[in-house]
Amino acid sequence: MHNWNSPQELQRDIFLLIRTANVWTGIYLWEMLIHMSFEWDFVKRRRIFQWQMVPYFISRYSQAIGLSCLVATVNSTRPNTCRIQSVLTFSLEISVVFANINFALRTMAIWTNKLVTGSISIMILGHAGLVVLDTVNNRGHWVPEGTCVAQDPARTYRNVMIIRAYTMGFDAILLFLSAYKLVIENKRIGRGSLVRCLLAQGMIYFVIAFACNAIATGFLIWKPNFELGIIGTAPASTFTVIAACRCVRHLTELLAHKAHQFRAPITATGPMGLDTTLSHGEPNSGTCNTRKP
């Protein structure tokens, strides 16, 4: 049987962890760069800023801060890099919290049900509470091998696994609610419904977020060693935030496209500025086509 805790294996896994951290950071920064025009539209006032965009910007830029701190930590040979351990942890984890808020707002918008909205809000608070507790308890220290490690690796690992499992469960619930609503709207309204368009074209982002967090949780449960156990957390948070931000941009573009197509304003009566009642008056021949987010 392979010894996952041998010195040679640990050295290879640390090297892999460092290199993959650089890869995920590069992918995310490129994703930010190619979609910077979306933010620029708000600066130039081509788009109207609404409160629903706050989670989008927080998740997008806190992830960038967290990945930058991660790269600085794993590539540096200076002891003072341990000081940013708390910033790194909080930024990466809070970005996922707000990414899930983006998904949650979309789910609440298509349901417009007080029970669903209240339950999702409680889950959001629970997610944020876990992140705050983990940040408070997470500290790093410098070791002679020339790297920054957690002061209590066992507790840090346990906290990461709890948060990742919670995130996976939250994503699964949002995915189920959205898929269920898609089936209902498909039977009740028909193909041309705006609500159905939003659901059908946005489902892929929910699936990506759930799959990424499920894979990361699987590695954490498997735990061949500490390094390989946590290796899936950075890509999971990266692609979750990317999927959530693309979901928001897609919704914004689609609503703008529909408003222009029917030459009628879409009333912001629910989360994400979506009035689901407008879908009942749309012709069934309407399409969901719009440019990519």
Average pLDDT over the chain reads 82
pLDDT tens across 220-249, in order? 999 999 889 999 999 999 999 999 999 999
State how far the Cα of 209 lies from the Cα of 164, in Å rounded to an integer: 12
pLDDT tens across 32-64, in order? 999 999 999 999 988 888 888 999 999 999 999
Tell me how far CA of residue 34 lies from CA of 40, 56, 193, 236, 293, in angstroms.
12, 16, 31, 20, 10
State how far the Cα of 167 lies from the Cα of 233, in Å rounded to an integer: 11
263: left (phi over 0), alpha (psi -120 to 50) or beta: left
pLDDT at residue 138, as a whole number? 76
> Three-class SS of residue 287?
coil
Cβ–Cβ under 8 Å, residues 205 and 240 = no
Q: Domain spans of the chain?
A: 7-281
Whole-model pTM? 0.85
Instruction: Quickly name the fold that domain 7-281 has.
Output: Rhopdopsin 7-helix transmembrane proteins (1.20.1070)
> Three-class SS of residue 50?
coil
pLDDT tens across 234-289, in order? 999 999 999 999 999 988 887 776 655 554 444 444 444 444 444 444 444 444 55
State how far the Cα of 254 lies from the Cα of 24, in Å rounded to an integer: 29
The number of beta carbons lying within 10 Å of the beta carbon of residue 190 is 15
